[in-house]
Amino acid sequence: MNLRQLKYFVGVVEAGNMTRAAEQLHVAQTALGMQIRQLEEDLGVALLVRHSRGVEATKAGSLLHARALAILKDVEEARKDVRACEREDSEAIRLGITPALMLVCGTEIAMTVREQLPNVFLSIVEAMSHVLIEALARGEADFILCYDVPDLPQLSRTALLQDDLVLVTPPRAANGKPIPFVDALEESIAMPEEGDSVRTVVARMARDLGLELKIAYEVRSISAMKSLVMRGAASAILPYFAALDEVRAGKLDARPLTMPAIKRTLFLASSKQRGPFKNEPGLTGAVRSSLSGLLDALGPLAQPLWVRTA
């Protein structure tokens, strides 16, 4: 039994599906299956029940899942403490951030933390919001910067801003004109996988209004979605900042959604189950500072949820 096997096993149990777990863990499904089988052979018990809907833990598997969570948490705490012991006031922090935000402000956050918090070693992990929330729960991240973090007892979250989603299309005569949500759904839509925060909020709104969300292309990559749009194959519903450079270059058009507007809330979140970080106030301040430029670029399509100072 080794730490990689425990990490993979936890990922499979929580995903409930080998294919989904392999995607989230960024490992080939065959390699993942081999690691699980080796773990079962080493322990001499079946850990998973495989069925048509996926997999679920056996009684022994449930016990191992609980123990593995504790072991992996202890290992991460040990790693963090060892990294921080070089200097009494140094601190290692793992920050998860979404791919779209990484493109527009990830570098700024890293540089701001380096400048304002020289005693912090910042490690940045990039993943979709729902993957980051799961990573935070498993103790694989210390803080996450992502959208629509659920209000759970074990999580601490700070709302930073709200931004409106837009319909991204090839350049058309509409040229940024707002579009009713019901009309946007008539487009051939490219969207991320289920669980993504954009897809979740759009699907919820469509369901609440009794509308059908027809997805022509399911694509995880924002770059791939924008490529489909530029080639005229589809439109996409995205945060405005994800297409800002292409809109400014005249390669894409972005039309705010109306009736209703579709908004998301960006949070900086952490787990209440871990110990406090000395530099948490400084990290929050650095993130807010880095988001100021994004807020200026988004204009009326975003609203800060903290008092900005000059």
Tens digits of residue pLDDT in 284-293: 999 998 888 8
Residue 310 pLDDT: 44
The mean-pLDDT minimum among 14-18, 77-81, 151-155 falls in 77-81
**pLDDT, mean over the chain:** 88
pLDDT 10s digits, 6-41: 999 999 999 998 888 888 888 888 888 888 988 998
Percentage of the chain beyond pLDDT 90 is: 43
pLDDT 10s digits, 259-277: 999 999 999 999 888 778 8
Alpha carbon separation from 35 to 21, 140, 272 (Å, rounded): 13, 20, 31
The answer to whether the 3-81 and 97-310 domains have the same CATH topology is no
- Please say whether the structural domain 3-81 has been given the CATH code 3.40.30.10: no
Cα 211 to chain centroid distance, Å, stands at 26
Residue 307 pLDDT: 66
Burial of 234 (0-12, 13-18, 19+ CB in 10 A): buried
- Please say whether the structural domain 97-310 has been given the CATH code 3.40.190.290: yes
pLDDT 10s digits, 195-245: 888 999 999 999 999 999 999 999 888 889 999 999 999 999 999 988 888
Residue 85 pLDDT: 62
Take residue 282 and report the two structure tokens written for it.
């400084």
Residue 54 pLDDT: 87
pLDDT 10s digits, 96-126: 999 888 888 888 999 999 998 988 999 999 9
Nearest to 183 by CA among 263, 258, 236, 264: 258
Give the pLDDT band (50/70/90) at residue 309. low
Q: At what angle do helices 18-25 and 29-43 cross, to 10 degrees?
A: 110
Q: What is the mean pLDDT of residues 62-77?
A: 90
Burial of 172 (0-12, 13-18, 19+ CB in 10 A): exposed
**CB neighbour list of residue 173: distance below 8 Å, 6 or more residues apart:** none
**Distance from C-alpha of 104 to C-alpha of 86, rounded to nearest angstrom:** 33
Residue 276 pLDDT: 82
Give the pLDDT band (50/70/90) at residue 64. very high
Can you give the residue ranges of every domain in the chain?
3-81, 97-310
pLDDT at 86 over 70: no
pLDDT at 280 over 80: yes
Residue 308 pLDDT: 58
pLDDT at 144 over 90: yes
pLDDT 10s digits, 167-199: 999 998 778 899 999 999 999 999 988 888 899
Confirm whether pTM is higher than 0.95.
Answer: no
What is the CB-side half-sphere exposure of residue 146 using CA atoms within 13 A? 30
pLDDT at 87 over 70: no
Residue 246 pLDDT: 92
Nearest to 266 by CA among 97, 107, 93: 97
Cα 42 to chain centroid distance, Å, stands at 34
